[in-house]
Amino acid sequence: MIGAVIWELAGRFYFEPIFFKPLSEVILALFNLFTSPVFWKALTESLQLFVAGFVIGTFLGLALGIVIGRITLIGSALESYVTVLYVTPPIAMIPFVLSILGFGYWPKAIIVSWFVFFPVCITTIEGVRAVSPRLLEVARSFGSGEARTWKDVVIPSTLPFAMSGIRQGVALGFVGVVAAEFLLDASGIGLLLRTYSRLYQTDNLFAAVIVMTFLGLSVMAIGKWVEKRFATWRQ
């Protein structure tokens, strides 16, 4: 509440209206966005891009994370590369992807999956390595093969860690959507943000950002609930 009052007063009496709009005007712009077919079309495009990139990044992150964490030889060969790429700013990869794949839908999906992949992969690796040796020993004592050990011990024990990474991937995935749409082939919410910023329509700009923030928080809340469900058996 206090923040809302400060926002309103700062927009009214401190900042230039062209650069910073009061909260009341942003709320009005938010209502206008919800009644605009252009906004819903842009939001649909962005959500489709997010889902595609999120699914690709999550699947690859889980698969590679389990393999690196479980198979020592592969882990020794690939983990250092994953670490180096993890600390590389994802936005720096956008010109690289652009030079190879050009414009279009799938280059943007690859950028989004890049943002999602690394938190999922890193947490999955840690989850695999955190599996209790006693559980592995019990599985071996009952004659479980490697495939059965993965199914009954490794993957269930890793899921809470992986869900934590997936929740981080949700937040970064939305960042990736805006970055890809803003810096690659402009479309969706990224195109709206670019248009609003160039026209100094800061009320619409803030309204669009609020929508994306709300969506990100909502999906993260769902992910946190799912994470708790998976982690219940460990408590």
What does 14-47 look like in DSSP terms, one character per residue? IS-TTT---HHHHHHHHHHHHT-HHHHHHHHHHH
pLDDT of residue 202: 84
Q: What is the pLDDT of residue 230?
A: 61
3-state secondary structure of 235: coil
Nearest of 158, 171, 159, 147 to residue 221 by alpha carbon: 171
Per DSSP, the three-state class of 103 is coil
**Longest Cα pair distance anywhere in the chain, in angstroms?**
74
Residue 142's pLDDT is 65
- Per-state percent for the chain, helix, strand, coil, to nearest 5: 85, 0, 15
Question: Would you give the distance in Å from CA 11 to the centre of its chain?
Answer: 31
Residues 6 or more apart whose Cβ sits within 8 Å of residue 118? 61, 82, 85, 86
Residues 112 and 55: their CA atoms lie apart, in Å, by: 10
How far is CA 228 from its chain centroid? 19
Domains of the chain in sequence order:
42-234 (1.10.3720.10)
Q: Which two tokens stand for residue 21?
A: 């709009």
Provide the residue-wise pLDDT of the chain in tens; the chain has 235 residues.
Answer: 776 677 676 667 676 666 777 777 888 888 888 888 888 888 888 889 999 999 999 999 998 988 888 787 888 888 888 888 888 877 777 777 777 777 777 888 888 899 999 999 999 888 888 777 776 676 677 666 666 677 667 777 778 788 888 888 888 888 888 888 877 777 778 888 888 888 888 888 888 888 888 887 887 787 777 767 665 545 4
Residue in the block written with tokens 């995935």:
173
On whether the CB atoms of residues 85 and 49 are closer than 8 A, the answer is no
Residues, the chain: 235
Report how far residue 50's alpha carbon sits from residue 41's, in angstroms, rounded to the nearest whole number.
14
> Can you give the pTM of this predicted structure?
0.81
The CA-CA-CA angle for residues 224, 69, 114, to 5°, reads 60
pLDDT score, position 235: 47
Pairwise CA distance, residues 170 & 222, whole Å: 10
- DSSP assigned state of 125: H
Amino acid 234: pLDDT: 52
